[in-house]
Chain A
């Protein structure tokens, strides 16, 4: 029989190794992006900002980052509005029709993105919208709506519904009860959905691949076509920029979850 402490330390060692496996690749890419060498060696021979300068001086990178940021903001706002409204409409509605509508709204979450991408491409190709900002935004909204429905729906479900009833008995009209009681209580869920939609849009590659053209493409699409060629530290600089945006969004989410005690959105497929 092995001693219990041996078990425990073996488990700790394994967990530490897995943690390194999970986090190290990103850390190394960030360090390499500051290399002064054209080789992807680690540790880099010297440090410089030459790859960031090169990014800033390349119009294609600048444009693609702007496209991604625009698409992200528009997607997050619109998906949050549509998803929040839908979650409110679904709240406390049971029955086969409600279940059908819920399945429809959640479908983009379940269906593999490759199928969604091909289908959305089919639609916008027919409309002549491929390579347009609106096509990218509309495509991303469709993918992001289910996340907002899920976070706001969860917030509504965990909310004590007698609070709204209590507001009514105290003299608040349904509209005021919603503004003063329901909305403040589900706000963390709405914000979580907003941040998740933003993250999804900024990192999205598959649908964007179908809808982008060399004239208008997101930063992930441009990075993809570069990665398929020869890889160099310039790509690690753009990867670091993309990571930075993700980590800002994650930090906001983390902060939000600490403030309000809402669990960070977990375990939903993408």
Chain B
């Protein structure tokens, strides 16, 4: 992990009048890394990307590309590739002219630019469409052209703003694989903005989860999913049931929370203090049906199954607990344990290491 740092954000903020769109973002991007900004719309992820591109100026903080401060450079001198939402292809230029445009701007000869553009067009799998206008292409093809245009001049950093947002589901999956392939083959550093958690999990080396202009958590997909540190991250990335209570004891990595269902144990995230309010976050797939007398799990609850939804690979079920609140569970089809049935009284449980105790900030 001694790859050089390509992009560094230091305390970057952006205010629109009294509104803080981006607040104090710190980030380091290593060479060849694929990082996603994930968050709901209006969380500041696109604004951050636009500041890196130079299309918006930060209110404070600095952005460095290969160790060089970008502040004095206008967008056209930054040499960063940008793929825009809805592509922003020039409608009055052919596909080849679109791709050759940045090369011409870099003073490449006309023929040289054309040859290079053709090569890039082959790379994205559209060798024969160079003379078409963008309006004559399908959405997926336009997407590939936009990618080709941003890659044509081999920028050290590629920014992508919800590039697949306008495509339908199948095409999106196909383009995810395609982008991952290009990332692998070209070894390019990518900063990818999306609001689609699945997309972020599939493609990224690391994910930065944005909320209200701040980075809530940054890390590898697995650690983000399994060890979220805030309630927002646990809820935004995947499903979770939150059981509120008060922290009774805290020992190293484990906390005991007194809830309406008795004491529950879980992995303590930073920020959890004894005596303060906290929530126990449980992923549905970690919830298992227990037989009476089963004591292998630290946490156990009683409830009645109120709904079962068949999902093909699994069954999702809703358990109504004794205090009236609900808990989500997920049972893979074809497991040894008995199938859940609506209306049955059950005993459920999960291990302490399979759930997280998070500070209850709400």
Contact = CB atoms under 8 A, between A and B. Distances in A.
Consider the complex of A and B and state whether they touch directly, i.e. have CB atoms less than 8 Å apart.
Answer: yes
Given A171-B76, A173-B76, A166 B91 contact: no
Interface string B127-161: 00000000000000000000001100100000000
A171 B74 CA distance: 9
Interface residues of B, number: 26
Given A170-B105, A176-B105, A184 B92 contact: yes
B236 interface: no
Contacts of B76: 167-174, 177
Contacts of B54: 168-169
B88 A165 contact: yes
B285 to A, nearest CB: 40
A160 B91 CA distance: 10
Contacts of A251: none
A176 B75 CA distance: 13
Contacts of A167: 76, 90, 101
A168 B102 CA distance: 9
Given A160-B88, A171-B153, A165 B55 contact: yes
Interface string A138-179: 000000000000000000000010110111111111101100
Given A171-B76, A171-B153, A166 B106 contact: no
Contact of A170 (B74, B86, B102): B102
B88 A166 contact: yes
A163 B88 CA distance: 5
Nearest to B79: A171
Q: A163, A169, A181, A185 — which one has the most chain B CB atoms within 10 A of its CB?
A: A169
A181 B101 CA distance: 11
B78 A169 contact: yes
Contact of B84 (A165, A174, A177): A165
Given A165-B55, A165-B75, A171 B86 contact: no
Contacts of A169: 53-55, 75-76, 78, 80-82
Contacts of A180: 101
Nearest to B149: A170
Interface string B81-118: 11011101011100000000110011000000000000
B88 A172 contact: no
Interface in A163-208: 163, 165-174, 176-177, 180-181, 184-185
Contacts of A177: 76
A178 B207 CA distance: 37
A168 B74 contact: yes
A75 to B, nearest CB: 29
A166 B80 CA distance: 11
A167 B92 CA distance: 13
B47 to A, nearest CB: 13
Nearest to A260: B92
A168 B75 contact: yes
Given A171-B105, A172-B101, 16 more contacts: A162-B85, A165-B53, A165-B75, A165-B84, A168-B55, A168-B75, A169-B54, A169-B80, A170-B76, A170-B101, A170-B153, A172-B76, A173-B74, A173-B76, A181-B90, A184-B92
14 contacts: A160-B86, A160-B88, A162-B84, A163-B88, A166-B88, A168-B55, A168-B74, A168-B76, A169-B76, A169-B81, A170-B76, A170-B150, A170-B153, A171-B79
